[in-house]
Amino acid sequence: MAMPDTVARSGGSDPAGRASRDASSLHGVDEEARLRAVHDLRLVGSTAEERFDRVTRVAREVFGVPVAEINLVGDAEQFTKSPQPAGVSLLSDRTQSFCDVAIQSTEILVVPDATADARFAERTTVTGPRHIRFYAGRPLLSGGQTVGTLCLVDTEPRDLAPAQEKLLDEMGAWVERELRDSREEEIAGDIQRRLLPVDRPLWPDFDLAGISRPARGVGGDFYSWGEDPDGLHVTIADVMGKGAGAAILASAVRSGFQAHRGPDAARTVTAVQAQLQGDLDATETFATFLHCRVDGSTGRLSYADGGHGLTVLIRAGGAHEMLPTLGLPLGVVPGAEWSAGSAALRPGDRLLAFTDGALDLFDGSLDSVAPLVDLVRTAADAAETV
């Protein structure tokens, strides 16, 4: 996957021994074209979307920072499309932001200590309540223009190791995949429909159902299921992107999971990653997923989650819990491995796995999970649920 040749760093030399280079001047940016690209995204002022929020949640956890954001930079204001943690003001003064400088280059901007950098030391984001000291911003491109950033923020000075800079770049590419919106083709819709399983496994103590309704007629979401002599396998995944390309790659991911079914969910995912890494690299594509296996005799659930984070275990007694993400999506880091989580399914429990489109039935954020669970509880069985 494409990497920037140099990471722009503020002030002094790079502690890792690499030559430092400031971001290019604003004079080198066609601001009119850049603002058109921001406008064409039609995201400024929009509500929360899980497809972006999942990136910032993962970034915040992986990099161990208190704040991770996706920001779009307009003419005078900066719009925070995805703030983590949620609840902060979504509009801010562009001239007081770090992203205003980051978008002047296509390189990652790393500011280890803002108080030591003349460009930022007097900005209210440093001197005021936000108290920003560390900043790392990966410029986001759309239509060939830097429209915003995926950024990491801390209130204490720190730095990024080279491997972390590379990972931030990969996660920025993940966001860029989400910014793309292609026209749909009729053939892609046919490919998408062919991904759906036809027959349901018949197990005496389990009820299984699924449905897919692409928002634009076609996309990279799919679900599948199967069985082995002792258990059920269920996979739900979301290939980044839209249209025929995403549908074709979703078919490859689906085939990979079908070919590597086994009792260990984490090993299955590792095998699928090894099989598909070349294709994912060549197309610069990622796939978030949940892959799980339920033991037919004990009800024990083993699962691996890569950047999906949209699975709810609804207990018969009324409580519910989100199954945590246990790793990055397929295709982000070559040779990655995943750990497996587990849970016990008891009589009357329900396991609900979905992609971000289900949240759009409500307000598009994770706050939608509770009303979605309430809706599921009204259904008599799995078929009525979907």
pLDDT band at 6 (very low <50, low <70, confident <90, very high): very low
Tokens (6 digits) for 126: 């440093």
Residue 131 has pLDDT above 60, yes or no: yes
Portion of the chain with pLDDT greater than 70, in percent: 85
Q: Residue 382 and residue 386: Cα distance in Å, rounded?
A: 7
The pLDDT value recorded for residue 204 is 72
Of the candidates 339, 313, 342, 344, the one whose C-alpha atom is nearest the C-alpha of residue 326 is: 339
CA distances 67 to 11, 236, 378, Å, are: 23, 29, 37
Superfamily, domain 8-179:
GAF domain (3.30.450.40)
Taking residues 131-141, what's their average pLDDT?
98
The pairing of strands 109-111 and 8-9 is parallel
Question: CATH says 186-385 is which class?
Answer: alpha beta
Domains 8-179 and 186-385 agree in fold = no
The pLDDT value recorded for residue 185 is 45
Domain boundaries, the chain: 8-179, 186-385
The pLDDT value recorded for residue 4 is 33
Residue 229 has pLDDT above 60, yes or no: yes
The pLDDT value recorded for residue 247 is 75
Taking the whole predicted model, whether its pTM rises above 0.85 is answered as: no
Query: Which residue has tokens 């796995």?
Result: 353
The pLDDT value recorded for residue 28 is 61
State pLDDT tens for residues 57-78: 999 999 999 999 999 999 999 9
Q: Residue 72 and residue 77: Cα distance in Å, rounded?
A: 9
Taking residues 110-119, what's their average pLDDT?
97
The pairing of strands 77-84 and 67-73 is antiparallel
The answer to whether 277 touches 286, Cβ cutoff 8 Å, is: no
